Amino acid sequence: MTVILNEGDAAGTTGAASGGPVDAAPEPGKAMTRGRLVLIRFMRNKLALVGLLVIIGMYLMAFVGPLLSKWSYDTQDYTAFLEPPYSEHIFGTDKIGTDMFALTMRGLQKSLIIGLLVALISTTVAAIVGAAAGYFLGVADKALMWVVDLLLVLPSFLIIAILSPWFRGKSWFLLVLMLAAFQWMITARIVRGMTLTLKEREFVKAAKFMGQPARKIIAKHIVPNMASLLIIDATINVGSAVLAETGLSYFGFGVQSPDVSLGTLIGGNAESATTFPWLFLFPAGFLVVFVLAVNWVGDGLRDALDPTSTRVRRKEKKDTKEKAA
Amino acid sequence: MTTSELQFDTPSDRVVEGPVLQVEDLHVSFPSESGRVQAVRGLSYHVAPGEVLGIVGESGSGKSVSSLAVMGLLPSSARITGSIKFQGRELIGQNDAELSKIRGRRISMVFQDPLSALTPVFTVGDQIAEAILVHRKVSKQAAAKRAVELLDLVGIPNAAERAKAFPHEFSGGMRQRAVIAMAIANDPDLIIADEPTTALDVTVQAQVLQLLETAQEVTGAGIVIITHDLGVVAGFADRLMVMYAGRAVEKGKVDEIYQQPRMPYTLGLLGSIPRLDVSEKQALVPIKGQPPSLTDLPDGCPFAPRCPMVVDACHTAEPPLMDVDGSVEHAAACIRTNEIAATDAEGAEAAVEIFGAEVAGEPEVAKIPREQREVVLGLDNLVKEYPVNKGVVFKRRVGTVHAVAGISFDIREGETLGLVGESGCGKTTTLMEILNLQKPMGGEISVLGTKSSEVDAKRRFAIRRDMSVVFQDPMASLDPRLTIHDCIAEPMQVHGYSKDEINRRVPELMRLVGLRPEQLSRYPGEFSGGQRQRIGIARALALEPKLVVLDEPVSALDVSIQAGVINLLEELKSKLGLAYLFVAHDLSVVRHIADRVAVMYLGKIIEIGEVNSVFEAPRHPYTQALLSAIPIPDPVKERQRERIILTGDLPSPANPPSGCRFRTRCFLHASLPPEKQRQCIEVEPPREVQAEDHEAACHFAQIRQVL
C-alpha cells in the first residue's frame, strides 16, 4: 500500500509541475487570462488538488500496476488460498488462489474506463441535444424535450437489469452505451437553459447576422461558452457512472464474467466481508476513495470556474488575519 | 394631504452646526487575485446642510466605493482607514447595529438600478412603510398612511392605489421615485444618490432630477450625487469633485469647474461630451489610454500616462490638491495649473486646444446632392406586431403589441440617420427586423434596392455582406472564447475568403480602427470597453459593407472613451463613404454624428428631418420635450433653461391611445381648447412636410426653441 501511495504522489507532483508556477503572483501589468485565473483558484483549493492527485494516481495504478505485478488476474497461485495480505500477495488471495491486487486492478481498470466513457458520451449527447433544442426551439425543442422527459421517468436501473440477459456475452461497451443513455437528460436540460440565454447574447446575434449557419454557431459560439459547465458535469458524471456500474454489477446485471469490475468483486465477496475482510475491503475501499476524489475535484472546479464563489474571499480574510497576528 | 401631516422638520430646526458629512483622508482597499486594489486613496471632502455635492469620475475611479464606505455597506473584506464624520460623529469602526440606527434614518441612499433596489415580493407601499417602522415607533397604519403620502409627494398618481402594487408593476421611472420616497421617508440629513439616473430614459431622468431637487427642499438634507455624466450635475450641484484613480483631482464650485477647469483630466472630460447646443461640427476630445490599474499604481501623477501636457516632473511625485486661481474653494491636483490658466480659451475649447482634437472631414459622396445618391436602406411602412397569448394548453390570442406600427425612412449612401426614442418605442424591434432580412408582417424593407420579401436564402446571404452591425454592449458582442483574430476573421470565413486574404486583411482592419495588430492573439477579456467596441467595429467593416447598423454603440462606454469611438466612426465614414443607421437614446451624440434624425414614439416616427433643422426648430411636442430633457454641461445655461417635464410614462404598445399616440402625455394637447383636443383624440396626425427635409406628425405643429 505504501508503494502505491508513493507512486500516486510522484504522478501528482509531475502533473502540478507541468501546470506552471502555482501560487506565484502574476506579473504586474499583465492581464490575467481566464484559464490562468481558474488554475490559480483551483490550486488554492487543497482538497480538490488532493482529489485530482488521487484520480490521476488511480488511473496510473490501474493501468501500470498490473504490469509491475508478477501475478495476473486470470492465473491462480495454487500455493496460496484465501491468504491475508503478505509480501508475495500484497492484497492477499481469494479462495481459488487469484492474486487480489491483480484482480482489483483489473476491476478498477474496467470501472474507470466505463466511468470515463459514460461521462464523455453522456456529456457530449447532453451538449448537442440541449444546445440544439435551445437554439432551434419550436418543433425540434418540443421533440427533444419530450425524449428527455420520457427518459427521465423511465426507471433506468430496472431497464438495464431487464435488458442485461440480452447483452450477456456481448461487449461491455453495450453497458457503457446503456449507462450513458440514462445519464444525459438533466444536463441536457441545463444546457438548453443556458443556450436560451447565450442565444440572446450579442456575439451570437452578430454571428447570425453575418450569415453563419446555425450548426456552426452552436459548435463555435454556444458549446465552447458552456465549457465550464460541461467540464464540471463530465467530472461528476465519472463518479456517478462508476457508482451505477458497480451497483449493476453487484447484482449481476452489469459487467459479466470473465470480465471483472469493482462491482462484481464487491458483489462476489460481500459474504466474506467479515470473515476474509481483504476480499471485500480493497475493491470497496478503492471505489469509495475514487468517488470521493471525483466529488472533491468537481467541487473545486465549480468553485474555480464560478466567479461568484466566496471561497477565495474567505481565504483572503483568513490570510489578512494571520498577517495581522 | 396637507404638508402638516408629514413628519418633516423644517430646515431651521437643525441641531448640529457645521458640515453634515466630513470625510478625511479616506482609504479603501479590496483583496483581488492580482493584489490589493486601492479603490480610494486619501479622499477628503465635506457636505454642508442643504448643499449638493457632485462627485464625477469614470467607472473605477472610486466614486461609488467612497460613498458605500460612508454608508458602511462595503463587504467585510474591504480595509477602510481615515475618518468619516457624520454630524460630528465618527462612523468608521462602528459596528453594524450602531450604523443601522443612522442608515436609513439620518443618511439614506438612492441606488442606480431601481429594479434591484426594491424587493419584488412586497408591495411598494409596504416597503416604504417598512423603512419607517424600522426607525420609528409608529403604528403600522400610520406608517402605511405615510407611505401613501410619500408616494404622492414624489409624484406618483393615484398613490393610495399604487402603494398596493408590486415593483414589477411600476415602470423604471416610477420605481426610482419609490426609491426616493423611501430615501426621504425618515427625513434624512444626508442623501447619497449613486448614479440615480443612469439606468433611466432622458425624459424620466429629467423627472427624477427635479424630484431630487424637491426632496432636497423638503428635507433640507445635504445631497451627494455621484455620476459619470457632467451634464447631469451641471444644473443641480453646488459644488463638484472630480475623481480619478481613487483620489480627488479637482474640486470647487460648479461654475468654476465648468468654466475654468485647471486639471487636464477635467478638461478632457468636458471636451469629450458632445454638446446638444452646438450646431457646427465640434471636435470631441478623446482621452487616450485607459484608467490605471488600482493594484499597482506607478509613482507620480496617475493621470500622467494619458495627459497631453505631461512633463518629466509629473512622474516624480503625485501632486496634492492645491488651491488654484487664488480661490480657497477651487483646488486641483496638477503641477501645471498655471499654464492651463494661461490659455485664453475657456472650458471645452481649452480642452480642444490642449488635447489637439480634430474634426473629421465630410465623405466624398456627401458632395453629391442627396436625391442623386443611391438608397442604401429603405423602409416603407414597416409593421411588426407580437401576439399577446393567454392560457397554457390552448393559447388564445387576447391582444396585439404594435411594436412597430408602420414606419418609413430611407438612408442614402454616405449618410447617417439617427433613430432616437425612449426605451420601448420600437427602435430595437425595427433594427432586428432590418437585420433579420425576413419578409416583414407588413410594408417593405429594401437593402440596396433588393426587397427583403422577394429574396431567397442565397440572395439574403449575399445581402449580409453589404450590411453589418455593431452592438451596444462591447462586453457581450465578442465571443470570450475566441481570439481577436478569430473574432474579426469570422465574417470573412463565413463569406468564403481565402486564408491568405484573411491573414492580410485582419491586421489591416486592426490598424484601421486604431489598434495594434500585435494584440491579435489576445482574448476579448484583456481589452477595455472602448477597445472592444473598436474590435466590434473592425469586425463590422471586415466585409466592406455599404451600411453599418449601430445599436447604441457608445452608450455603454465612459464619456472619455466614448469620444474616441465617435471620432473613429466619423473618420471611417468619411474615409470609406459608409452609411450609418445610428440607434441611440442620447440626443447629443446623435446631434454630433447624424446628418438626419428620426424620432420614434410608440412604434411611429413622429418627426424626421435634417439634424440641425430638427434640433433647432423642433415641431413635434415630443421632440421638444426630449430635447429639453437633455442636460447641457454648462451650469449657467442649464439653470436658465426651461424644462418641459413630460408627465407619466410611455403607454403600453399593446393598447396605444386613439388618434395621436402622444396625446396622453402631450403638454400642447393639454393646453388646447376641447374642440381641437377632439381632433387629437380622433384623427391620427399624418407626417407632413414642415420645412425642407423636415417632416413632423402633429396636427398643431409649431416651432419651439428648447436649447
pLDDT band at B7 (very low <50, low <70, confident <90, very high): low
For residue B480, the 8-state DSSP code is: T
Are the beta carbons of A210 and B477 separated by less than 8 Å? no
pLDDT band for position A301 (cuts 50, 70, 90): confident
Name, in order, each residue with C-beta under 8 angstroms of A313's C-beta and a sequence gap of 6 or more.
B31, B75, B77
- pLDDT tens track for B227-260: 888 888 888 899 999 999 889 999 999 988 888 8
Q: Assign B536 a pLDDT band (cuts: 50, 70, 90).
A: very high
Q: What is the mean pLDDT of residues B74-83?
A: 89
Rounded CA separation B571/A231 (Å): 45
> Averaged over B472-491, what is the pLDDT?
88
Name the minimum distance, in Å, from the CA of B50 to any CA of chain A: 39
Each residue's pLDDT tens digit, A283-294:
899 999 999 999
Q: Among B449-458, B468-477, B649-658, which stretch is predicted with the lowest mean pLDDT?
A: B649-658
Cα-to-chain-centroid distance, residue B212: 18
Interface check for A192 against chain B (CB to CB < 8 A): the answer is no
Which amino acid would we find at residue B618? P
3-state secondary structure of B284: coil
Chain B contact residues (CB < 8 Å to A): 31, 33-35, 75-77, 79, 293, 295-296, 435, 461, 464-465, 468-469, 471-473, 476-482, 490-491, 494-495, 523, 525-526, 536, 539, 543
Q: Which residue type occupies A189?
A: R
Which residue type does B626 have? L
What is the DSSP code string of A54-122? HHHHHHHHHHHHHHHSS--TT-B-TT-SSPPS-SSSTT-B-TT-BBHHHHHHHHHHHHHHHHHHHHHHH
Nine cell digits for residue B348: 471645452
Residues constituting chain A: 325
Residue B171: pLDDT band by 50, 70, 90 thresholds? Answer: confident
Q: What is the CA radius of gyration of chain A?
A: 23
Query: Closest-CA residue in chain A for B537?
Result: A206
Q: For position B417, what pLDDT does the model report?
A: 95
* Spatial strand order in the sheet of B89-90: B37-47, B21-30, B79-86, B89-90
Look at the pTM and tell me if it is higher than 0.90. Answer: no
- DSSP assignment of B685-704, as one string? PPPEEEETTEEE--TT----
Q: Among partner residues A33, A201, A211, which is closest to B494 by beta-carbon distance?
A: A211
What pLDDT, on a 0 to 100 scale, did the predictor assign at position B215? 86
Residue of B464, B472, B481 lying closest to A225 (CB–CB): B481
Tell me if B190 sits within 8 A of B120, measured CB to CB: no
ipTM surpasses cut 0.85? no
Q: Show contacts of A226-230: CB within 8 Å, 24+ apart.
A: A226/A127, A226/A131, A226/A191, A226/A194, A226/A195, A226/A198, A227/B481, A228/A301, A228/A305, A228/A306, A229/A190, A229/A191, A229/A194, A230/A123, A230/A126, A230/A127, A230/A187, A230/A191
Contacts of A5 (CB under 8 A, 6+ apart): none
Q: For residue B479, give the nearest of A37, A221, A312 by CB distance.
A: A221
Whether residue B481 and residue A209 make contact (CB cut-off 8 A), yes or no, is: no
Spell out which residues of chain B touch residue A227, defining contact as CB-CB under 8 Å: 481
**How many angstroms separate the CA of residue A301 from the nearest CA in chain B?**
17
Residue B377 grid cell: 436602406
Q: Which residues contact A147 (CB under 8 A, 6 or more apart)?
A: A129
Cis peptide before B308 (omega within 30 of 0): no
Task: Give the type of residue at B336.
Answer: R
| Sign, Cα dihedral of B215, B218, B219, B222 | positive
Does B471 sit within 8 Å of A202, measured CB to CB? yes
Mean pLDDT of A57-71: 87
Work out the angle at residue B548's Cα, subtended by the Cα atoms of residues B544 and B551, and round it to the nearest 5 degrees.
Answer: 145
pLDDT in tens, B565-608: 999 999 999 888 899 999 988 888 899 899 999 999 989 999 99
* Residue B675, Cβ density class (10 Å: 0-12 exposed, 13-18 middle, ≥19 buried): exposed
pLDDT in tens, A129-177: 999 999 999 899 999 999 999 999 988 888 888 888 887 777 788 889 9
Kindly tell me if the per-residue pLDDT of A324 is higher than 70.
Answer: no
A317 touches chain B (CB under 8 A): yes
**Residue B206 · residue B587 · CB < 8 Å:** no
> Pick from B35, B477, B491: which is nearest to A202 by CB?
B477
What count of Cα atoms within 13 Å lies in the side-chain half-sphere of residue A239?
Answer: 19
Encoded amino acid at B666, one letter:
C
Q: Residue A100 in contact with residue A89, Cβ under 8 Å? A: yes
Helix (H, G, I), strand (E, B) or coil at B463: helix
Chain B residues touching residue A309 (CB < 8 angstroms): none
Interface mutation target, options A22, A32, A37, A210, chain B, most CBs of B under 10 Å: A210
Q: Hey, are the CB atoms on A320 and B494 less than 8 Å from each other?
A: no
DSSP B255-273: HHHHHS--SHHHHHHHHHS
User: Smallest Cβ distance to A203: which of B35, B76, B477?
Assistant: B477
Q: B100 Cβ partners below 8 Å, 6+ apart?
A: none
Residues of A in contact with B480 (CB under 8 A): 34, 225
Amino acid at B255: D
Tell me the backbone φ, ψ of residue B643, rounded to 5 degrees: -95, 135
> Residue B336 in 3-state DSSP?
coil
Separation between Cα atoms, residue B554 and residue B548, nearest integer Å: 14
- B521/B498 Cα distance (integer angstroms): 19
Candidates A113, A104, A125; CA nearest to A175 is A113
Q: Which of B293, B525, B536 sits opposite A34 (nearest CB)?
A: B525
**A:18-37 residues touching chain B, CB 8 A cutoff:** 25-26, 28-29, 31-34, 37
Q: What distance in Å separates the CA atoms of residue B289 and residue B586, rounded to the nearest whole number?
A: 24
pLDDT in tens, B114-149: 778 888 899 999 999 998 998 888 899 999 999 999
Q: Which of A202-216, B6-20, B474-488 has the lowest mean pLDDT?
A: B6-20
pLDDT at B3: 41
Nearest neighbour of A40 by CB, restricted to B33, B35, B526: B33
| Mean per-residue pLDDT, A36-41 | 80
What's the 3-state SS for B360-391? Answer: CCCCHHHHCCHHHCCEEEEEEEEEEEEEEEEC
Count the Cβ atoms, other than its own, within 10 Å of residue B671. 11
Beta bridge partners of B110: B193
Measured CA to CA, the distance from residue A167 to residue A160 in angstroms comes to: 10
Q: How confident is the model at residue B15 (pLDDT cuts 50, 70, 90)?
A: low
C-alpha cell at A201: 447574447
pLDDT in tens, B295-329: 878 788 888 888 888 888 888 888 888 888 777 78
Does residue A325 surpass a pLDDT of 80? no
Tell me the pLDDT band of A33, cut-offs 50, 70 and 90: low
**Contact criterion met (CB < 8 Å) for A209 and B469:** yes
Q: What is the DSSP string of B51-69?
A: -EEEEE--TTSSHHHHHHH
